[in-house]
Structure 1
Amino acid sequence: MGPAAGLLLLTVVSVCPDASAERRLEYVTVLFRHGDRSPVKAFPTDPHQESDWPQGFGQLSQEGMKQHYNLGQFLRNRYQGFLNQSYERHEISVRSTDYDRTLMSAEANLAGLYPPAGQQVFKPDLMWQPIPVHTVPQSEERLLSFPLADCPRYKQLMNETEHTEDFINMTNTYQDIIELVRNKTGLNKTNVETVWSVYDTLFCESRHNMSAPEWVTPDVMEKLRVLKDFGFQAMFGVHGQQEKSRLQGGLLLGEIVKNLSQMAVPGPEQRLKMMMLSAHDTTVAALQASLNVFNGRQPPYASCQIFELYRDDNGSVSVSLFYRNDSKAEAFPLQLPGCCLNCPLDDFVRITKLSISEDRDKECQVPSEGRDKEVIISLAVSGCLLLFLIALLLGVICWHKEPISNRGYQHVVNQEVGDES
């Protein structure tokens, strides 16, 4: 073994926890996307409008309810022995965005996670119990809904993204599909970033056995899917990924890292074991992009990003990431770039710090065009005034330096000549 290889091995050993050490689960954060839903909207020529959906647009379907009930059962099995068998209010905190579909997804999930037993059964023929889900008004949501529209610098980055080679190539490659969508849907404006909504509507309808328009062939749907996935990549990557993360998903990542760090310090009153977050595909994508583990594809219904905090028998603390993007499969591990699968907490904090802003409001600021013009005008006026003052001052100086004879034609006797005579 050469010295370089030995150094590498030493580095790995010093950074990565001992795989043979006993690890004890201390705390879990789960973020998931809501389940199957109706379309958020329909395009003008769509034969299926809001009245065709039982609860209207953007609502959780019965299939979506089943998906989250199953995810709740998955979490129950995964954390058997860690979470109390019956609901214990101090063990879990649940937060959702203020949308019907995310609130209902959380409730369906909790029904699978905590079926009532014993004293918690309040109606013998109902295997369900109410569990609180917290939210804030959507206008105040800054933790679970991305991309946030309150950041001028992010808008500037998106404008720059649209002028990148990747974005221009994608537009040129799929220009025929973009124009087809414009011609067939009745939409006035279609581009790489907006055609995803058409795909989403058609996708929802196909999942619910609704007939598609004749122009929607399998080839068209596949091309729309590619454009839709690229739209997700452009929102949080393609150009300026880390800065976009600091302005968007880093807000949520920062909160998660703060909670992990707090839970890593044992305390006699520490009883919280799980933080559950119910949100959207863009939330999952934004968070994964800030971790640099986003696979570039839209997170599917009921997909779940998991953070697990472990303590080794030697006292060291580490974080493990898992992602479940298939309702019929187990969660698979994700590796944070630059760290091990079981990433020491100190390294996890250090690596993720690059994607977390300490002053997002300040980083979001960019000089406005109006302000730039005001500054230029002010500088121009100040410059002209300064030049005028300088010219006036020079004029006064020159006036004082002119020969006296030129002012009044007075004869002055030379004193030296007079003394000699």
Structure 2
Amino acid sequence: MSALANLAGLFPPHAEEIWHEDIAWQPIPVHTMPLKLDYVLHGSSNCPRYSAAFEKYQNESPEVLRILKENRENILYWSKMCGSNLTTIDEIAELYLVLIVQMQHNKILPDWVQKAIEPNGTMESIASFRYKMRTNTKELARLQSGFLIKEMFEHFAQKINSTLEPNRSVWFYSAHDHTISNLMNSFGLFEPHVPPFASSVHLELYKVGEKEHYIQIFYRKSGEEILLPLNIPNCGEKCSLDQLYKLYNDIIPDRDHDTECRLPK
């Protein structure tokens, strides 16, 4: 639905494309695949190695254990008030998001909820950390976002070498807040927060002269109009594709999805 809404805004019909005077819309295809097969946008789907690595991270990460320990009293209180036993950062974050959506829809919320979801509060901080968790090790980043990064870099390489078929100027991926935070965190660019609705990450390829190219990355939080390029760690605001391959070599898969996701014997 988000993809369709974006395309309707980007490509309104003109002249002979207008088929109804009251509906400024034309059909544009959105290509999808079953979730279990979509390892580009949902890298952890059907990936036993990722599931095992993430479970180990949740159970053993000093940062995760510290957050749960330091906020034990709050977590017990929230559990009592919402009627659900909250034991993981994922569960706390899901509660936070549900409450935030209810607030945004002007639902009448009890006092404990208003206090719990106040800006820069404890629950928001825990929910924000959740968006780092899924890619917070090299192995997790490789299995979760690596195939998306690999595909984007391959498109850039093909564009530079004039071998891209079809020869598109823009590729759109439509997914979720986790897709954005996972990608940003894998690049080392994510500051913990809950990505707002309609956020987007932009990777742009620029050509300078005949043979020189560079890439910039931008992050748009919902309604921002003026974007500044992000400072890519150990590279800067303008990076060649070769530089990016070297920087992120350890999180770009060099085998097929099934092989990468196979549990080690």
Matched, 1:306 2:202: yes
After superposition, the Cα gap between the structure-2 partners of 1:296 and 1:146, relative to the gap in structure 1 and judged at 3 Å, is: farther
2:98 equivalent in structure 1? 201
Structure-2 separation of matches of 1:271 and 1:365: 34
2:109 to 208, 212, 215: 212
SS at match of 2:149: helix
Q: Deviations over 1:41-61 (max 9, x none)?
A: xxxxxxxxxxxxxxxxxxxxx
Give the drift of 1:144. 1.2
Pairing 1:358–2:254 present: yes
**Cα distance in 2 for residues equivalent to 1:363 and 1:142:** 11
Deviation at 1:174, TM superposition (A): 1.0
- Gapped regions of structure 2 (runs ≥ 5): none
Q: Match for residue 176 of structure 2?
A: 280
Q: Is the 8 A contact 2:75 2:86 kept in 1?
A: no
Deviation at 1:220, TM superposition (A): 5.0
Instruction: Report the CA distance shift for 1:156/1:145 in structure 2 as closer, same or farther (over 3 A).
Output: closer
Task: Describe the SS at the equivalent of 1:278.
Answer: coil
When normalised by structure 2's length, the TM-score is 0.90
Contact 2:42 2:144 in 1 (8 A): no
8 Å CA contact 2:36, 2:45 repeated in 1: no
Distance 1:279 1:107 in 2: 12
Alignment RMSD, CA only?
Answer: 2.2
Which residue of structure 2 aligns with residue 145 of structure 1? 42
Please tell me whether residue 187 in structure 1 is matched to residue 84 in structure 2: yes
Residues 13, 26 of structure 2: 8 Å contact kept: yes
Matched, 1:223 2:112: no
Q: Take 1:146 and 1:330, find their aligned partners in 2: how far apart are those partners?
A: 31
Q: Give the whole-Å Cα distance in 2 for the aligned partners of 1:195 and 1:165.
A: 18
The 5 Å alignment of 1:20-419 reads 104-145=1-42, 147-148=44-45, 150-219=47-116, 221=118, 222-237=121-136, 241-266=137-162, 271-359=167-255, 360-366=257-263
Q: Which amino acid aligns with 2:39?
A: R
Q: Which blocks of at least 5 consecutive residues in structure 1 are unaligned?
A: 1-103, 369-421
Offset at 1:124? 2.6
Residues 267, 340 of structure 1: alpha-carbon distance in 2 compared, 3 angstrom cutoff = same
> What's the offset of the Cα at 1:275?
0.6
Letter in 2 for 1:293: L
Aligned residues: 262
Please give the secondary structure, in 1, of the residue aligned with 2:186: helix
Q: Which moved more, 1:157-166 or 1:111-120?
A: 157-166
CA-to-partner distance for each residue in 1:120-171, whole Å, 9 max, x for gaps? 1122332211111111122322111254352235423442343232222211
Whether contact under 8 Å (1:147, 1:235) holds in the other structure is no
Using the alignment, how far apart are the partners of 1:252 and 1:268 within structure 2? 17
Give the conservation status (yes or no) of the 8 Å contact 2:218–2:228. Answer: yes
| Counterpart AA for 2:38 | E
SS of 1:194's partner is helix
One-letter identity of the residue aligned with 2:220: R
Does structure 1 retain, via aligned residues, the 8 Å contact 2:99–2:117?
A: no
Within 2, Cα distance between the matches of 1:367 and 1:134? 33
* C-alpha distance in structure 1 between counterparts of 2:216 and 2:151, whole Å: 17
> How many angstroms does 1:269 deviate by?
7.1
User: Which ranges of 4 or more aligned residues in structure 1 deviate by more than 6 Å?
Assistant: none
More relative contact order, 1 or 2 (CA 8 Å, 6+ apart): 1
- Is the radius of gyration larger for structure 1 or structure 2? 1
Q: Percent identical across equivalent pairs?
A: 28
For residues 158 and 339 of structure 1, the distance between their equivalents in structure 2, rounded to whole angstroms, comes to 32
Report the CA distance between 1:268 and its aligned residue: 9.7
Which secondary structure does the structure 2 equivalent of 1:306 belong to?
Answer: strand
Contact 1:236 1:286 in 2 (8 A): yes
Contact 1:154 1:247 in 2 (8 A): no
Structure 2: how far apart are the matches of 1:149 and 1:178? 31
**Contact in 1 for aligned 2:50/2:144 (Cα 8 Å):** no
